[in-house]
Amino acid sequence: MMLEALEISKEYKRGDRPFFAVDGVSLSIDKGEFICIVGRSGSGKTTLLNMLTGLLTPDSGKIAFDGVAYDRLGDDELSLLRNTRLGYIMQGRGVLRNFTVLQNTILPRALFKRAEDPEAKAISLLDRVGIRHLADQLPARLSGGELRRVSIARALLSTPDLLIADEPTGDLDEETAAEILSLFRSVAEEGTGVLMVTHDLDATSLADRTLVMQSGRLRERA
Amino acid sequence: MYGRPHFIFSDIAVCNLKRSPFRTAGLISIVALLAFMLFGGSLISCSLFNGADGLAKRLGADILIVPKGYDQKIEGILLRGEPSAFFMDAAWLGKIAHFEGVRAVSPQLLIASLNASCCSMPVQLIGFDQETDFIVEPWIKTALPGRLSDGEIIIGGAISGGAGSKLEFFDREYTVVAKMENTGSGFDASVFMTMESARTAAEDFIARGGNLTLPDNAISALSIMLNEDSSPIGTTKAMNEHFGYGNSGIVVVPAKEIVSNVSGNLRALVTIIVALAAILWLLSILILAIAFSVILNERKREFGILRSLGATRRKLASLVFLESGIVSLFGGIAGVFLSALLILPFRTYIRDTINMPYMQPSVIALIGLTAGSLILSFVAGPIASLISSAKIRKSDIIDVVRDGEL
Ligand SMILES: Nc1ncnc2c1ncn2[C@@H]1O[C@H](COP(=O)(O)OP(=O)(O)OP(=O)(O)O)[C@@H](O)[C@H]1O
Ligand SMILES: [Mg+2]
């Protein structure tokens, strides 16, 4: 198993009353697997993904990537893992307003330098998500769907082992959404694991498995 | 064709600064103001010290005697270069010479030239007696080969012209034989000549309708050097008692007092300037720290995104540090530059405004002041960013971005 979560929980307080946003969730994803998570708003999906990417520490339970537990990794190693092996497409607009589309796309390489020039790859990814012509634009000039696609291209830049996406097709039209989904499908076929939160029922038909999140608990869809 | 080929970590900082021009300009202005005050304050302090120092070195007299009512005028001549002319009877020379504790006495004749052809400013003509002089002579020895003849002059550092050139006072030509260094004191606007030349100048002035009465046998002031064991204050008192204070027609001025008064006032002033600079430095660090902290809050989303892409906390902290450093660099240079531009060319105006000997420091000292001001400004931003950096390194708040946070 590439990513494995065991009985992870996260407790938040609403007013004075504590509640579990994520409540004893276990989950594993393998290379090339395409998993969808569906669930109502507020059911804990984003909280779960934040823990799976190591940005948020669970109150209890264990998460391991390739057999290495997160709680044994320091900030540097966890960051490097996010930078090289995970691609996280966050909910909402994960684009920095001070950088052009192309700069946003190659941002991961500015954080950890690697030998090869990321630009050619970035351009071809922007092409694949259909916004190559916007490469030199600043985010302020882009539509919500275009911004979304910048995050998608960026998440794929390092050819991650695992792509984690939080409602990536939320503000896309049907046709573009279908293109993005088929991109994810082909990425999975090339060996990348895909874990996607979505409300799009068409998407779930492309997935190997679909899980349902409800009040912090995760279960297999019937 | 698609922007810069290599986009590296420091580009993130530069991009952030460039694309948030108002925020960046605001931060740079704070540092620039700091650098401006630091450099300006230290430059003015230094110049005041230099001025007082120059005057102290040049004024070899322990006591000055001038006609009654002219003690303010002699101060004006020494400190501010405000020319005057006044007279008393030369007989005082003999009376004073034998007074107890007096080692040497030398007379001077002071004539004011309000609009000399040479100069934009009024010039003080000082006739001195070469036989007895102990003030002027010591510091022109290096420049003057022999004795001064009638019609020859030595000019102060602020007067244009050099050895060999000619100056005209009241339609008579004088030959410059030596020029003194600038001191920042009133001596810079003075012209030194023999007693006879000074007398001739005064007669020329009167002949041209000048409003002046020159008594026969007149002198303007007496410079007195005391024996080692006589105190200026004590001797001043004794002279006043002996000659009858208030009705003798003269006033005895303990000259060193003028200088030490200046130094004392100056020390107080400089202490205030240094204290203000220190307060300003701390205050601007505080303001910057608050600004960075506010900015950090509004940048939570940006940092959250960078975190999700693999930025370590250390990297984010160094981003804030780097940005503050760049801001300080530009602010510091701009502030010092503006300050220099505003203060260096206007020394005469500043001197006239604060009415004290004022002498700008040498190039080397200026470089030192510049370096000091720049260093203090350069470190202000990074120091102020330490709190924000520490927050980034410690807390979880920036890790997770909630949608809608912008
Ligand atoms: N930092 C927090 N403090 C307190 N409560 C929180 C915090 N983060 C999330 N919650 C709560 O936890 C619950 C789960 O939030 P989460 O963002 O995971 O939901 P979600 O399933 O992603 O919803 P959506 O589909 O609307 O994005 C919500 O009720 C939310 O209000
Ligand atoms: Mg969510």
* Residues A113-123: tens digit of each pLDDT: 777 778 899 99
Nearest to B404 among A81, A92, A96 (CB): A92
Structure tokens at B318: 């160094």
Cα→Cα distances B39→B220, B315, B336, B377, Å:
42, 34, 6, 10
Handedness of CA A18, A21, A26, A28 (dihedral sign): negative
Task: Give how many domains chain A has, as a whole number.
Answer: 1
Is B359 domain-assigned?
A: yes
Q: In percent, how much of chain A has pLDDT > 90?
A: 77
Q: Are residues B223 and B357 in the same domain?
A: no
Instruction: Decide if A44 contacts A37 (C-beta within 8 A).
Output: no
Q: Are residues B125 and B10 in the same domain?
A: no
pLDDT of residue A49 exceeding 90: yes
Is B109 domain-assigned?
A: yes
Domain of A110, CATH number, reads 3.40.50.300
Rounded to the nearest angstrom, the gap between the alpha carbon of residue B289 and the centroid of all alpha carbons in its chain is: 33
Distance of CA A42 from the midpoint of ligand 1 (Å): 5
Instruction: Decide if B380 contacts B280 (C-beta within 8 A).
Output: no
Task: Return d(Cα B391, Cα A174) in angstroms, integer.
Answer: 43
Average pLDDT, integer, range B378-403: 80
Chain A residues whose CB is inside 8 A of the B302 CB are 96, 98
pLDDT of residue B339: 94
SS3 A220: strand
Q: Which residue of A has its CA nearest to B318?
A: A111
Q: Are residues B202 and B349 in the same domain?
A: no
Task: Return d(Cα A94, Cα A164) in angstroms, integer.
Answer: 13
Q: Are residues B176 and B289 in the same domain?
A: no
DSSP H or E run through B294: helix B255-298
Look at B96 and B79; give whichever has higher pLDDT: B96
Ligand 1 binding site (Cβ under 6 Å of any ligand atom): A 12, 21, 39, 41-47, 91
Task: Return d(Cα B184, Cα B55) in angstroms, integer.
Answer: 8
Average pLDDT, integer, range B125-134: 89
Structure tokens at B313: 């906390």
The structure tokens 């966890």 sit at: A78
Residue-wise pLDDT for B357-390, tens only, equals: 788 888 999 999 999 999 999 999 999 999 888 8
Task: Return d(Cα B404, Cα B397) in angstroms, integer.
Answer: 15
pLDDT of residue A63 exceeding 90: yes
Is B249 domain-assigned?
A: no
pLDDT of residue B406 exceeding 50: no
pLDDT of residue B1: 41
pLDDT of residue B395: 67
Q: In percent, how much of chain A has pLDDT > 70?
A: 99
Task: Return d(Cα A218, Cα B329) in angstroms, integer.
Answer: 53
pLDDT of residue A6 exceeding 90: yes
Instruction: Decide if A218 contacts A43 (C-beta within 8 A).
Output: no
CB contact under 8 A, B11 and A138: no
Look at A23 and B403; give whichever has higher pLDDT: A23
Distance of CA A207 from the midpoint of ligand 2 (Å): 19
Look at A204 and B263; give whichever has higher pLDDT: A204
Name the average pLDDT for chain A: 92
- Is the CB of A116 inside 8 Å of chain B's CB atoms? no
Q: Which residue of A has its CA nearest to B21?
A: A98
Among B111, B50, B13, B4, CA closest to B328: B13
pLDDT of residue B179: 86
Of A107-116, B137-146, B349-358, B372-381, the one with minimum mean pLDDT is B137-146
Chain A residues whose CB is inside 8 A of the B19 CB are 97-99, 138
Strand partners, A213: A39, A218
Strand partners, A25: A8
The whole model's pTM is what?
0.76
**Mutation target among A98, A154, A157 for the B interface, most CBs of B within 10 A:** A98
Among B385, B246, B217, B244, CA closest to B317: B385
Average pLDDT, integer, range B341-364: 83
Is B255 domain-assigned?
A: no
Task: Return d(Cα B83, Cα B85) in angstroms, integer.
Answer: 7
Under 8 Å CB pairs connecting chains A and B tally to 99
Strand-pair category, B102-113 with B123-128: antiparallel
Strand partners, A39: A213
pLDDT of residue B49 exceeding 90: no
Q: Are residues B383 and B283 in the same domain?
A: yes
Of A106-110, A132-136, B255-259, the one with minimum mean pLDDT is B255-259
Structure tokens at B394: 């410690």
Q: Which domain holds residue B70?
A: 63-229
Q: Which residue of B has its CA nearest to A88?
A: B308
Q: Which residue of B has its CA nearest to A78?
A: B310
Q: Which residue's CA is minimally distant from atom 2 of ligand 1? A: A12
Q: Are residues B266 and B188 in the same domain?
A: no
Phi/psi region, residue A92 (left: phi>0; alpha: psi -120 to 50; beta: rest), is left
Task: Give how many domains chain B has, as a whole number.
Answer: 2
Instruction: Decide if B64 contacts B74 (C-beta within 8 A).
Output: yes
- Is the CB of A55 inside 8 Å of chain B's CB atoms? yes
- Is the CB of A157 inside 8 Å of chain B's CB atoms? no
Chain A residues whose CB is inside 8 A of the B7 CB are 103, 106-107, 109-110
Distance of CA B403 from the midpoint of ligand 2 (Å): 8
CB contact under 8 A, A55 and B308: yes
Phi/psi region, residue B191 (left: phi>0; alpha: psi -120 to 50; beta: rest), is beta
Is B279 domain-assigned?
A: yes
Alpha helices, H only, chain A: 45-52, 75-84, 101-111, 119-128, 144-156, 174-189, 201-206
Q: Which residue of A has its CA nearest to B19?
A: A98
Of A206-215, B56-65, B394-403, the one with minimum mean pLDDT is B394-403
**Residue B318, min C-alpha distance to chain A (Å):** 12
Cα→Cα distances B134→B62, B123, B131, B139, B140, Å:
11, 22, 9, 9, 11
- Boundary of a domain, candidates B207, B229, B251: B229
Among B20, B326, B308, CA closest to A104: B308
How would residue B174 be classed by pLDDT, with cut points 50, 70 and 90?
very high
Q: Are residues B280 and B149 in the same domain?
A: no
Q: Which residue's CA is minimally distant from atom 30 of ligand 1? A: A42
pLDDT of residue A32: 92
Average pLDDT, integer, range A97-106: 93
Q: Are residues B9 and B78 in the same domain?
A: no
pLDDT of residue A54: 93
Q: Which residues surround ligand 2, an ion (CB under 5 A)?
A: A 46, 91
Is B330 domain-assigned?
A: yes
Residue B361's identity, in one-letter code, is: P
Residue-wise pLDDT for B282-309, tens only, equals: 999 999 999 998 888 888 888 889 999 9
What are the backbone dihedrals phi and psi of residue B151, each rounded to the nearest 5 degrees, phi first?
90, -5
How would residue B327 be classed by pLDDT, with cut points 50, 70 and 90?
very high
Q: Are residues B205 and B295 in the same domain?
A: no
Chain A residues whose CB is inside 8 A of the B12 CB are 99, 107, 110
**Residue B9, min C-alpha distance to chain A (Å):** 5
Q: Which domain holds residue A129?
A: 3-220
How would residue B268 be classed by pLDDT, with cut points 50, 70 and 90?
confident
Q: Are residues B19 and B139 in the same domain?
A: no
Strand-pair category, A209-214 with A34-39: parallel
Is B335 domain-assigned?
A: yes
Instruction: Decide if A22 contacts A216 (C-beta within 8 A).
Output: yes
Of A78-87, A121-130, A208-217, B61-70, the one with minimum mean pLDDT is B61-70
**Residue B379, min C-alpha distance to chain A (Å):** 25
Q: Are residues B9 and B45 in the same domain?
A: yes
How would residue B138 be classed by pLDDT, with cut points 50, 70 and 90?
low
Q: Are residues B115 and B158 in the same domain?
A: yes
Instruction: Decide if B125 contacts B112 (C-beta within 8 A).
Output: yes
Is B369 domain-assigned?
A: yes
